[in-house]
C-alpha cells in the first residue's frame, strides 16, 4: 500500500460546481499536510497547507481528519482555470520530518 493515496480521477465537472477530493495517508505520526497543484508538464506549486482546525483560502477549503487519516480539498464555484492535477503531500515525524511524500494526484477537468 502506498503511504499516500488519492483517487486519480478524472473528475469532470461543469463550471460553477463544487468538487471535493480526499487523500488518505498511512503514517499516523505524520505532522504536516499540503495540497499542491500541477498543470500539465509543469512543476507542482503549493495550493495550500492543511491545518488541524481546517482552513480556507477563497474558494478552497482544506480539512484534516487525523482519526481516519485523511485530508480533503473542497473547491467551490469551479472555474475553467481550476483544471489541473491536485496532489496531496504528507511528511513524517522524527527522522522522517523532512521526508515529503506525494500522492498520485487527482485530475480535475472543469467544463464550460
Partner 1 sequence: NAGVTQTPKFQVLKTGQSMTLQCAQDMNHNSMYWYRQDPGMGLRLIYYSASEGTTDKGEVPNGYNVSRLNKREFSLRLESAAPSQTSVYFCASRNREANGELFFGEGSRLTVL
For residue 34, the cross-strand partners are: 49, 89
**Total residues contacting partner 1 (rule CB under 8 A)?**
24
Could you give phi then psi for residue 82, rounded to 5 degrees?
A: -80, -10
Per CB under 8 A, 34 contacts partner 1: yes
**E-strand stretches of the chain:** 4-6, 11-14, 19-25, 33-38, 45-50, 55-57, 60-65, 70-75, 84-91, 100-102, 106-111
Per CB under 8 A, 25 contacts partner 1: no
Q: Which stretch binds partner 1 (CB under 8 A): 14-22, 30-38, 56-64, 68-76?
A: 30-38
Among 7, 9, 27, 32, binds partner 1 (CB under 8 A): 32
Q: CA 35, 38, 23: angle at the middle one, nearest 5?
A: 35
Per CB under 8 A, 71 contacts partner 1: no
Residue 42 or residue 79: which is nearer to partner 1 going by CB?
42
**What residues make contact with partner 1 under the rule CB under 8 A?**
3, 6, 8, 32, 34, 36, 42-46, 49, 87, 89, 91, 97-105
Amino acid at each position: 500500500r502506498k503511504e499516500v493515496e488519492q483517487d486519480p480521477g478524472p473528475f469532470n465537472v461543469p463550471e460553477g460546481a463544487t468538487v471535493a477530493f480526499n487523500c488518505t495517508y498511512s503514517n499516523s505520526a505524520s505532522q504536516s499536510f499540503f495540497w499542491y497543484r500541477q498543470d500539465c508538464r509543469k512543476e507542482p506549486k503549493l495550493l495550500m497547507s492543511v491545518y488541524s482546525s481546517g482552513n480556507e483560502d477563497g474558494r478552497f477549503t482544506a480539512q484534516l481528519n487525523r482519526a481516519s487519516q485523511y485530508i480533503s480539498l473542497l473547491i467551490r464555484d469551479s472555474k475553467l482555470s481550476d483544471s489541473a492535477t491536485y496532489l496531496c503531500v504528507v511528511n513524517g515525524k522524527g527522522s522522517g520530518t523532512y521526508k515529503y511524500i506525494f500522492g498520485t494526484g487527482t485530475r480535475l477537468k472543469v467544463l464550460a
